[in-house]
Amino acid sequence: MYRELALEFARVTEAAALASARWMGRGDKHAADDAATEAMRAMFDTVSIDGVVVIGEGEMDEAPMLYIGEKVGAGGDAELDIAVDPLEGTNIVAKGLNGAISVLAAAHRGCLLHAPDMYMDKIAVGPAAVGRIHLDAPVEDNLKNVADALGKKIDELSVVILDRPRHSELISRCRKAGARIQLIPDGDVAPAVATAFPDSGIDIMMGIGGAPEGVIAAAAIRCLGGEMQGRLCPETAEEEARCVSMGLEDPRKILLLEDMVRGDGVIFAATGITDGSLLKGVKYTAQGAVTHTVVIRGRTGTVRFINALHRLDRKPHFGRGRNEAQG
């Protein structure tokens, strides 16, 4: 069943990527996100699962579909928690930049942290550096330990950090230590996952980003045998209360992989929308569109990269490209 679901989830992220890619570089991030969300939601209706969205487009009164608590799937024996980001990198697509993906994670009911929409401080590495990082360790120590684990010099390390003013000190310290830095405008899920692939060119991901995205990335890293640590960063009393309601007595405790994703019944799927370190973006040809997808199963550790050619409806499009793929 889970082998079949892995491929079905690939179809879900492919549909969202195809719909969103039509909006690349057109300056309308909302239209791109809406197109991805509509296509993903429609494709979920074809998958034989009893799914509940635990990380999605927002609360019920904030999102028309894929909202937190929404039931998805055509029904079946597989009772799953679903975490989705139909378009991770709305600004990236709007500006035609690199690194946008459509992504989802699925796990047995109750096995995904219901992360609230707030910030999370994160650090992620691949399998070779497990046990060599700590969120509270000095930046310089983490860099040295990871470099040693990978058999590299610090000036050969590649560190991915979101390009934000809040990271000015982190960036400065990494540079002073001698590490190479890739600053990204948005979308830290793919770079976090890419740390687990030796040929990705990314050795470590650090910094503060979205908590929901942190849990989605953690699902893939758990499947791949890497390590990730996170700490929620509530900024208001309301956010503090939300953390406590999730069962976190100490909202600022360090969250390990087991805190964010439990068990090995995890599936992760992502399709590139624009080219990135892990996945190629959607490409159009005379025959249709080509997508590049990764699907990872936690139970077996199997990683599948799928290059798919989709025949497209070539009639003029005036809407948002929903369900344009024929398979």
Spell out the domain ranges in the chain. Answer: 1-97+107-112, 119-260
Q: Is 99 exposed, middle or buried (0-12, 13-18, 19+ CB in 10 A)?
A: buried
State yes or no: 121 annotated in a binding site. Answer: no
| CA–CA separation, 156 and 256 (whole Å) | 27
Structure tokens given for 296: 């990872």
Q: Is 126 marked within a binding site?
A: no
DSSP 208: E
Q: Which amino acid is at 194?
A: A
Q: 234 among the known binding-site residues?
A: no
213 is in an annotated binding site: yes
Q: Do domains 1-97+107-112 and 119-260 have the same CATH topology?
A: no
H helix and E strand count, the chain:
9, 13
CA distance 249 to 212: 19
**How many angstroms separate the CA atoms of 57 and 71, rounded?**
13
Beta carbons of 4 and 296 less than 8 angstroms apart: no
CB 4 within 8 A of CB 28: no
- Spatial distance between the Cα atoms of 194 and 137, rounded to a whole number of angstroms: 22
Give the number of other Cβ atoms within 10 Å of residue 261's Cβ.
28
Looking at residue 63, what is its pLDDT?
Answer: 84
Distance of CA 110 to the CA centre of its chain: 19
Choose among 183, 236, 243, 235: nearest CA to 207.
183
Written as tens digits, the pLDDT of the chain (327 aa) is 667 899 999 999 999 999 999 999 999 999 999 999 999 999 999 999 999 999 999 877 678 899 999 999 999 899 999 999 999 999 999 999 999 999 999 999 999 998 888 999 999 999 999 999 999 999 999 999 999 999 999 999 999 999 999 999 999 999 999 999 999 999 999 999 999 999 999 999 999 999 999 999 999 999 999 999 999 999 888 888 888 887 777 888 999 999 999 999 999 999 999 999 899 999 999 999 999 999 999 999 999 999 999 998 766 544 444 445 545
Q: Is 119 annotated as a binding residue?
A: yes
Residue 199 annotated in ligand binding? no
Going by C-alpha positions, the residue among 314, 309, 270, 307 that lies closest to residue 289 is 309
Q: Would the annotation count 186 as a binding residue?
A: yes
- Say if residue 58 carries a ligand binding annotation: no
Contacts of 285 by beta carbon, 8 Å cutoff, 6+ apart:
309
Which is nearest to 279 in space by CA: 265, 293, 264, 299?
Answer: 293
CA distance 322 to 36: 8
Is 57 annotated in some ligand binding site?
A: yes
The Cα diameter of the chain in Å comes to 57
Q: What is the CATH number of domain 119-260?
A: 3.40.190.90
Fold (topology level) of 1-97+107-112: Fructose-1,6-Bisphosphatase; Chain A, domain 1 (3.30.540)
H or E segment and range at residue 304: strand 303-310
DSSP string covering 212-280: HHHHHHHHHHHHHT-EEEEEEE--SHHHHHHHHHTT-SSTTSPBPHHHHB-SS-EEEEEEESS--SS--
In the prediction, which pLDDT does 315 show?
Answer: 63
* 313 has binding-site annotation: no
Tell me if 166 is assigned to a ligand binding site: yes
A 10 A CB-CB count for 314 gives 9
What is the predicted pLDDT for the residue at 95?
97
CA distances 104 to 23, 87, 202, 218, Å, are 20, 10, 21, 11
Count of CB atoms within 10 A of residue 235's CB? 9
